[in-house]
Amino acid sequence: MVCGALLAPAWMAMAETPPAPAAADAPAADAPAPPASGAPPAELKTLDQEVQGLKKDVVDLNKDLFVLQEQLLFPANTQVALYISMDVGTFFALDSVTVKIDNKEVKNYLYTAREADALLKGGVQQIYLGNLKVGKHELVAFFSGKGPVERDYKRGATINFDKGVGAKYLELKITDRVPKHQPEFMIKDWE
């Protein structure tokens, strides 16, 4: 479109000026004819269509490469995905989460106020995606933040789980334990 707009004044200028006498060595048939209704030439339309087609091909290729990368890096038979969610949040304001699997720290995440607010509104965040071999494993999660009466609060939760063939999904869940006026931290195994 831009190319057509840039060429239109040049064509109009050619149409308004009287034709120059043809040179003896240049035939008049080689001169380009101005477009009939000010529309861009057909060559520009086809070039624009080719560019748009190439852009679509690049986007499709990028999507396919992303899917292939996910399959290669995290094959379904060794994949472990860890999610975090919050319910209510009256007794706890989340600041950070540290996750260890088999005594190896795999994730340490510091939350912004906006991210913590999104979790309180029902959001669920994928906090970790990795690979584990089949067998028994231990997951330990440490939660830091502000507890009841605005005091610094740090608690942990542990789960021993069996990783079988196929993907494994675990959820770190923060809920309010109303009778005790304390937050509760659980790890749920989605079988």
pLDDT tens for residues 16-40? 444 555 544 544 455 555 555 666 6
| Predicted structure pTM score | 0.60
User: What CA dihedral angle connects 66, 72, 76 and 82, to 10 degrees?
Assistant: -70
Tens-place pLDDT, residues 66-90: 888 777 776 767 889 999 999 876 7
Enumerate residues 6+ apart whose C-beta is below 8 A from 162. Answer: 135, 136, 137
Give pLDDT, residue 34: 54
**Residue range 103-146, pLDDT digits in tens:** 999 999 999 999 999 998 889 999 999 989 889 999 999 999 98
pLDDT in tens, 7-16: 444 444 444 4
**β pairing state of 152-163 and 168-177:** unpaired
Mean pLDDT lowest among 32-41, 143-152, 165-174: 32-41
